[in-house]
Amino acid sequence: MTAASRIRILLVDDHPIVREGLAAILSCEGDMEVVGEAGSGEEAIAAYESCQPDVTLMDLRLPGLSGAEAIAEICRLQPEARILVLSSFAGDEDIHRSLQAGALGYLLKDMLRKELVEAIRCVHARQTFLPQVVQERLRQRLLHQPLTPRETEVVGLIAQGYGNRDIAHRIGASEGTVRIHVSHILAKLGVTDRTQAAIQAIKRGIVHLT
């Protein structure tokens, strides 16, 4: 197989050892070639523009711009970009956010080697690749009413340990308004208290604690 016919791949992950492992795996595939690496969202955008890869493997947890933000920017610059998310985040909101940004596939990092190779070839062919576990997460998401941007902000502050008074100060609202937001959040997440709301929001990928 000639170099021109190989699938040219960009690896994006903030851990060099992960990139090295992926590169080693993909080097064994005769139809694949790693042409670039990046360790942050900003680096990913720059590397994409310089390398023009056929497929980009994108982690979500990156310094600076998140993976989802980098995906959105790359797809804005190049609507035909073929991006496959490879992440440890299994929350339905993480998956939904990535697909909305423009990713064609979503893999969890506990996948088998053959599944990774299959996913790359599938995305290269401009087909969606969503394993069964990912599809099930998305089906579960349909059972929940989404939080508004303000409710997402509030539950993020709850997860950081802020009380209603501090939250009200930070978002420029009254404590009464915050209590209303909290009530809506509990109902939408199907929980009965603030601690459960924080746990559920983190589990689903609605908020991330750094």
* Model pLDDT, residue 140: 87
Rounded distance, CA 107 to CA 209, Å? 22
Burial class, 87, CB count within 10 angstroms (exposed 0-12 / middle 13-18 / buried 19+): buried
- Domains contained in the chain, CATH given: 3-141 (3.40.50.2300), 149-204 (1.10.10.10)
pLDDT in tens, 126-177: 999 999 999 999 998 888 889 999 999 999 999 999 999 999 999 999 999 9
* Model pLDDT, residue 3: 58
* Model pLDDT, residue 1: 55
- Average pLDDT over every residue of 56-80: 96
Q: Tokens at residue 209, please?
A: 């604690």
* Model pLDDT, residue 144: 85
- Note the pTM of the prediction, 2 decimals: 0.83
Closest CA to 10 of 28, 43, 142, 30: 43
With bands split at pLDDT 50, 70 and 90, how would you rate the model's confidence at 208? Answer: confident
E strands in the chain: 7-12, 32-38, 55-58, 83-87, 105-108
Which residues pair with residue 85 across a beta bridge?
Answer: 58, 106
Contact (CB, 8 A) for 54 and 82? yes
